[in-house]
Structure formats: C-alpha cells, structure tokens
Chains A and B, each alone.
Chain A
C-alpha cells in the first residue's frame, strides 16, 4: 500500500464539462443526439451490469432532452460520442433559470411585507414578482443562447468500452 506523499499535482479544473451522448438520427448536415443520463446511473453504458440504477431513466425523458449538432465529423446513427459544454456554463444557466426569478420573487415579497405587513398581500406580491422574474430569465437565456453558450459541442468519438465511473 502506498502511503500519501506531498507530491500532489497542481490543481486545475478542466475547461470543458464532458458527457456521453448517442447519435439517434442524422438529417443532412445535422446530427441529433440523446445524452446518457449518467448522473443517476440508470442509462449509462454499464447500466445492464450495474446494480446502482437510479431514478429518471425513462426513455421519454431522454427523448425530451434530444439536441442537435452540426455533423462536420460525419457521425452515423448509433455512434457514441463525447460532447462538452464550456466551464461555468452550468453556473450561468442555473443563475439564469433559478436565481433571477427567485430574487424577483423575494424582492417583491420583502417590499410588500415592509409596505403592508400582511401575509396574504405578501403572498400575492411574491407570486406577482415571480412573473417579471421569469420574463427577465427568458431574456437572459435568449442572450446566452444567441452567443452559443448553452449548446453542447462535439469533442471526440467515445472509445469502445468507456463507461461512466461510479465512485
């Protein structure tokens, strides 16, 4: 058994968040892919031999998350590829989808509580505050999307036998 040493490599996070996806259709120069649901383990390549199957493995859910890529690499149906999104994209997406509406909702509630001090009015104000929050989130998501920040990119073909790690 090796004992721990001080030879720890310098810490650096990868610049892309990678994930596996399978090509389900090719239409002209566009390939449609379905992501493998590795976070709940149930749909990854090792699911048939793995006992750690989780929830959310329904095929319909995967079909709903189908996305398209420009097929410059000549992908064919059934091929397994590695796709990636930029680092911090997930954080930006989370802030856009959740933090903006939540901040608008809590802000409206705080103002209503300060002005009226009634539970009913505060509740109504928070529901009303959620709507402009969702509108701002929609605009922000459109901005991110137009810059291409939310689209996965093709990185490489997955090697045969590469499966998700269950640690």
Chain B
C-alpha cells in the first residue's frame, strides 16, 4: 500500500508532468485563461490519459513485447491514444448530447497533447504492473490538472493586476509559470523515487 501512495505522490507532485517533465505545455499556456476551462480540460485529459494508459499497457504486454515489436511502440501508442479520444468523444456524445456540446471542444486538443504519449512511454519504461501503471497514469494526470487549475487561478488574478505594459500578456504568464515551477521544485526533496 505504501508503495502505491509513494507512486501517486511522486507522479502527481515530485515528477509533475508539466513542471518537472515539461510535457503538455501547449495546453498549459493555451487553456488556462479561466479556472472553469482549465478544470474542463484537466478532467478530460485525466480520463483520456488513464484510459489510454490502460490500453497502452495491454498492447505492450500482450502484443509488442511478446512479438518483439518494440520498434512500433511510438506509432502504436499514438494510434491507441487517438482511439481512446475517439472512444471518449463517442461515449460523452452517447451519455449526453448536451454535455458533448459543452465539453466536446477539448477532446480534439487532447489527441495532440504530448503529455498523453509521454505518460504512456514513461510507464512502459518503468516496467510497472497493470495496477501500478494505471495509478501512475491517473496520478500524473491529477498533477497535470492541479497545475492547470493553479495556473488558471493565477492568470485570472493577473488579468486584474496592474502589470507594466512591457510584461503584459504572455511574458508575465511565463514568469509566473517559472515561479510556479520553482515552487514545485520544493517537492523534489521528498524521497519517492
């Protein structure tokens, strides 16, 4: 049990997918103008990362590794991710068309989010069990959502702040992002491997 807790803390905070591994920076800067949209994007990404990582683990364990097809890993994972996004889109549409109208806009953006592929490749490199890899993927995406929401909150406040014209817009956003990354470096002292 303790190893799973350490795995979750390590994936979500210490090795945060955005601020430590620098994945998913496009959505980090692009969809964080409001907290609501950041949560929407974060939740959708969490679902897709978790589902696609489960599928990636199965493909790796039952197809790529036994048949020595490791050289097809990246392209296969991209295919699995695209299928997971498509599955999610169809499911949301089936569950509630009204929800799809509201949330469907985020799903195509996730297909090209490198964090999804990055997490899948990391869990394969880590040679984890199925449950550990699922928890790793879930925790990584929770860390992604957490940082998105924190950064969106900061940007909402920045929009009201009196920023010098030279720094207004993206420049002050990048400065705040770097300060947030410095803050998250504080977690690197935790021994979670």
Whether A and B are associated in the same complex: the answer reads: yes
Distance, CA A93 to CA B161, complexed state (A): 30
- Is the Cβ of A93 less than 8 Å from the Cβ of B103? yes
Binds A, one of B28-36, B64-72, B118-126, B183-191: B28-36
**Secondary structure type dominating chain B contacts:** helix
Given known A-B contacts A7-B162, A55-B108, A106 and B40 have beta carbons under 8 A apart: no
Is residue A102 within 8 Å, beta carbon to beta carbon, of the partner chain?
yes
Contact status A123-B58, CB under 8 Å: yes
Q: How far is the CB of B114 from chain A (nearest CB, A)?
A: 14
Report A-chain residues with C-beta under 8 Å of the C-beta of B166. Answer: 1
Give Cα distance in the complex from A39 to B164, angstroms: 26
Contacts of B40 in A (CB 8 A): 90-91, 93-94
- Majority DSSP secondary structure for residues of A touching B: helix
The answer to whether A102 and B162 touch across the interface, beta carbons within 8 angstroms, is no
Binding stretch for chain B, among A24-32, A59-67, A71-79, A155-163: A59-67
What distance in Å separates the Cβ of B152 from its nearest Cβ neighbour in chain A?
11
Interface string of B91-103 (1 = CB under 8 A from A): 1100110111111
Cross-interface CB contact of B157 among A11, A87, A90, cutoff 8 Å: A11
Q: Which residues of chain A have C-beta atoms less than 8 A from B74's C-beta?
A: none
Contact, CB under 8 Å: A94 / B39: yes
Q: Is the CB of B102 within 8 A of A85?
A: yes
A5 CB within 8 Å of chain B: yes
Contacts of A89 in B (CB 8 A): 102
- 28 CB contacts below 8 A, A to B, read A1-B165, A2-B162, A4-B162, A8-B160, A8-B161, A11-B156, A13-B35, A40-B105, A56-B109, A65-B100, A65-B101, A90-B40, A90-B102, A91-B39, A93-B102, A94-B39, A97-B47, A102-B50, A106-B138, A109-B131, A110-B131, A119-B129, A119-B130, A141-B96, A145-B96, A150-B96, A151-B98, A167-B170
